[in-house]
Structure 1
Amino acid sequence: MLIKANNLTKRYGTKLALDNINLQIDRGQLIAYLGTNGAGKSTTINLLTGLMTPTSGMIARRQGIKIGVVFQDSILDKELSVKDNLNFRSNLYHEDHTE
């Protein structure tokens, strides 16, 4: 098991974005997570990567796992240099800047 989510729920104020999602991702699996706009795909990814915290539920990640995500639109800040963009993103994951 690389990642496991049990009864994952996320609310934005009174809006329910995710309602008791359960999933498990094992080593070697290829996952396609599909849905319409507003279905909660980005919210789920942000929760699984640790960028957001769930309203309720549990997420377990194997220790030392690194998760990479490629978003549809660029998330780079055009005002920052390449180095500053990399440093900023690595800070989100508490990564060492020397890697």
Structure 2
Amino acid sequence: MVLFFDLQDDYKYQPPEIKIPIRFRVLNRSPKSYLLTFRMRFSTSMGVKVVEEFKETATKKILPGDDYEAETQLIVDKKGKHWILLTGSFSTTNKDRTFQIKLPFQAK
């Protein structure tokens, strides 16, 4: 599984609340042609909210060689350093794995 996120290091803070789209892409590059099943949940630091309908991805099945592309949306409430935490799980045949990735960004 390869995971790409389109997250900038700096965002311009513009009140009132604006929605910042963050695109992500999951690639199944299994060398043995295994089906990939995954799901992700997003949480953030204080001062940032995840738009409710984008808090979690439904369980997705990706065939070998296929990609899955989607986006989540954040609302930044204040300036400063923030982060988004990805908590996910994926499985291929007989292996289940969970992961957490913390991605920092800043609102100026």
| TM-score above 0.5 | no
The structure showing larger relative contact order (alpha-carbon pairs under 8 Å, at least 6 residues apart) is 2
Larger proportion of strand: 2
Q: Scaled by the length of structure 1, what TM-score is found?
A: 0.30
Larger proportion of helix: 1
